[in-house]
Chain A
């Protein structure tokens, strides 16, 4: 079942078009990996999907309903949650308050404080700590927990492992794998580690200069094709697998 459908999305910063005619589909329970160099338009794409960046044209459908005109908070209420680049936690509030805020303003559903803490047990001892004092891995866990608290149908994870230690990344992906195994959420993930992205994603899209240069199953495409698309070596012929 297609949960998120993006049709011909265009977005830019002033004269610069950062996202050019991007179309993609994500199904419930599926993980779509977005791969691309810095400046390829990944973050602008995510911010446009979440509604904090205006789309120039194109439509965003959530479970068949057009959410293109909704404000970010309305999109959260209808089921799109984003873990933004840089976490963007409320640093002068506790972990519990950060989670609580998304819980009481988001969509109703199975995720509660208890079930989020079950899924992210590392947060349990930190509930009363101000998030400003946490480590990068802990902050990322809070940011993911905060997004889950709003009971998303589509979870957008931007630069999940940026700035984390290898141990923290390992722990993070264990928790994300648990989330993936539940099969009730569509996930779109930006990950700079190509091996990690290919291993965790069911399907990948490679972005180059704002458009999708390559799309397909990671095992079928192979690392070489993805690397070529990453660096723009296979320009012109868009491949589908």
Chain B
């Protein structure tokens, strides 16, 4: 039981890296990228290419692929995503759905249909583990993944809180037009956010390829996991994304102890449960409902008031 809990928490680190990019794109650019999972798989294939063809060591390959993925994200935002946003909310979904299909079939054409893994190239890290008291075994790779997730989300949070780029990103997320009126090039900020999000997808893909087999069509499943982590943790919060990833990972891990198919089922059930609870709570808040009946204080509305509202009273 304890073992399943720990494995689930560590798995949550991977989901957090994958979901952070999705959450960032939605929070800053208001853009849902349905090709996020496929971009993760593309990142994994690029790392595999760097290792198998160019002969780089796996960690060097990951470090080399991240800037390439960031550049890809920048270019995608500049040439594709920014144009589709102008076409309403449906167009980005259709476009990125199509981009996902292009990426899947492109990878199928370039890299073939064989399931591949980085596991062969990282030596004994694939199976090495630490033995803890009470018979608990900690895999080294999951621990590294989790540590990287915390480090990446932590440094991203620091950048957002204290750097010029971070302030520009938060200002643009809050009110793009007011950001422009303060001298911020909102389009450049959107490109920077897309670059960060795509690099994070590539990093997640590399970790996926280290612990599992990947194939060109593995992206959509990863996208669903990332979505579930974002929804469970709440959009627009990096630490919420980490918690969402952990909850999803723990649920899957416990599900897997019940049956082999339980792994996915339990994750989906928790996601649906959280989604239903959120909808129910929102409904209750909007209609008075049980919160009013229990005389609970209304949530502070400050975060929900759009900044464009003109205040009536001084």
Show the binding face of A for B, using Cβ within 8 Å: 50-52, 71-74, 76-77, 81-82, 84-93, 97, 100-102, 104-107, 130, 132-133, 135-137, 139, 146, 150, 162-165, 168
CB < 8 Å neighbour of A101 from B177, B184, B186, B303: B184
Q: Is the CB of B180 within 8 A of A93?
A: no
Q: Can you report 12 residue pairs joining A to B where beta carbons are below 8 Å apart?
A: A52-B177, A52-B180, A88-B175, A88-B178, A91-B307, A92-B170, A92-B303, A101-B182, A133-B302, A136-B313, A136-B314, A163-B310
Given A88-B308, A104-B164, 20 more A-B residue pairs with CB atoms under 8 Å apart are A52-B181, A72-B180, A76-B182, A77-B183, A88-B175, A89-B178, A90-B171, A90-B174, A92-B170, A93-B167, A93-B174, A100-B167, A101-B183, A104-B167, A105-B184, A106-B183, A132-B307, A133-B302, A163-B312, A168-B314
Q: Chain B residue with minimal CB distance to A72?
A: B180
Q: Is the CB of A101 within 8 A of B307?
A: no
B220 to chain A minimum Cβ distance, whole angstroms, is 33
Tally of B interface residues using CB under 8 Å: 28
Q: Chain B residue with minimal CB distance to A52?
A: B177
- CA A164 to CA B314, docked complex, whole Å: 5
CB-based A-B contact count at 8 angstroms? 107
Given A50-B181, A90-B174, A102-B182, A136 and B302 contact (CB-CB distance below 8 Å):
no
B62-98: contact bitstring with A at CB < 8 Å (1 yes, 0 no)? 0000000000000000000000000000000000000
Inter-chain contacts of B177 with A (CB < 8 A): 52, 72, 84, 88
Inter-chain contacts of A106 with B (CB < 8 A): 182-183
Q: Is the CB of B314 within 8 A of A84?
A: no
B309, CB-defined interface residue at 8 Å: yes
Q: Chain A residue with minimal CB distance to B167?
A: A101
Q: Chain B residue with minimal CB distance to A50?
A: B181
Instruction: Pick the 5 closest A-B CB pairs, nearest first.
Output: A105-B183, A136-B314, A76-B183, A88-B178, A86-B310
Inter-chain contacts of A105 with B (CB < 8 A): 164, 168, 182-184
Most buried by B among A74, A85, A132, A164: A132
CB < 8 Å neighbour of A91 from B164, B167, B305: B305
Q: Is the CB of A162 within 8 A of B310?
A: yes
Inter-chain contacts of B312 with A (CB < 8 A): 163
Q: Is the CB of B302 within 8 A of A132?
A: yes
- CA A50 to CA B303, docked complex, whole Å: 27
Q: Chain B residue with minimal CB distance to A143?
A: B178
Given A73-B183, A73-B185, A84 and B178 contact (CB-CB distance below 8 Å):
yes
Q: Is the CB of B181 within 8 A of A84?
A: yes
Given A106-B183, A135-B314, A89 and B168 contact (CB-CB distance below 8 Å):
no
Given A91-B305, A97-B167, A76 and B314 contact (CB-CB distance below 8 Å):
no
- CA A73 to CA B178, docked complex, whole Å: 10
B33 to chain A minimum Cβ distance, whole angstroms, is 24
